[in-house]
Amino acid sequence: EGLAVLLPCFWVYMHVGKCMLALREQLGDSVERPPEFDAWIDMYGGEEFEREVKDYIAIVDDAAAKGGDEETLKKMKEHFIMSCKLEHMFWDQAQNLMSWPDFSESK
């Protein structure tokens, strides 16, 4: 189940990195960026990170195919979907100044 929880983070960073790499190539030197921004784009938009993400996807798929009874697969799917929602909230909150919901069990 833990493998499925982590996958959306890696996957979305790869996607954002690829989008930012394309934008950087399109804008060229017309925009100034701190070197740290370029380092982030190079890391997450690069081929090495993409290979690592694809390898991780294969690991998750393999774990689901080999060891997943129906209940485990259901939980993996639920955890994956929740992680996707949280990733979306993380990226979206900067633009919309979104407040995080209370996930505590005490309610």
Catalytic residue ranges: 9, 87
Can you state the angle between helices 35-45 and 2-27, rounded to 10 degrees?
120
DSSP SS3 for 102 = coil
Q: How far apart are CA 22 and CA 59, in angstroms?
A: 28
Q: How far apart are CA 45 and CA 9, in angstroms?
A: 14
Of the candidates 14, 62, 69, 58, the residue with the CA atom closest to the CA atom of residue 40: 14
Can you state the angle between helices 47-67 and 2-27, rounded to 10 degrees?
160
